[in-house]
Structure 1
Amino acid sequence: MKIIVYNFNNQYALSRKQVEAIKAAMPKEFFLPVSEFHLTHTRVGAEVFEYSAKEKIVYFAFPVKEKTQESTSAAIDELLVGLARIKSPTRWEYPLGERERASHEEFVKGWKVRCLDAATK
């Protein structure tokens, strides 16, 4: 998987190295549908994590002025919700409803600690 960083003004809640560490901490199957992972400032759709199935590209927009433990944690939540959405029927480029977000809560809880540990080493 190729990681592309659009570095203009601010930093991102997750760095390239953190995305790589999270990818290494998870089973390969979760990132198999992704050929490119774009860390970008501007949202492509309505959510932080958007996916183009045709191109197999993830657009992850989570810029921050100051990188904190809270912003990293929130970014990992969004990353995990996005990865779960790739495996489930979902509509991209539309805001997630509360029900759909809640349906991925168990997946997020199951992987959050492992991903947070990998990202903060």
Structure 2
Amino acid sequence: MSRELGAILAQDCEVVATVNDGLALVRMAREMHPDVLVTDISMPGITGLQAVESLIEEGYAPRVVFVTVHAEPQVVRHALSLGQCGYVLKADAVEDLLPAVHAAAAGQRYLSASIPPP
């Protein structure tokens, strides 16, 4: 997680861990069961999407906010198919990250305003 994203989250959330790759994300989520996972889609090892899919296959349905540069409709649809999650473009993170985390925590979907509805 970038320092900027960490600073945004720290304004209103407790950041319990940061990881640098998809496999570490899966391990951390298994151990800590955070209320909301905030992850990039493009990560070394396995993608954020693959990490979340792996957790779902194991029976853990995390609430997730994807923070990414990917605005392609097929990627957005894939992410949103994984459950009630948030999808925030990095360019919109200052305005959208905290509302997306709160929506995900409440079991609601959140989509950056600059992304057309899928």
Q: Same fold (TM over 0.5)?
A: no
Question: Which of the five TM-score ranges fits, normalised by the shorter chain?
Answer: 0.3 to 0.5
Give TM-score, length-normalised by structure 1. Answer: 0.35
Give TM-score, length-normalised by structure 2. Answer: 0.36
- Structure number with the bigger relative contact order (C-alpha 8 A, sep ≥ 6) is 1
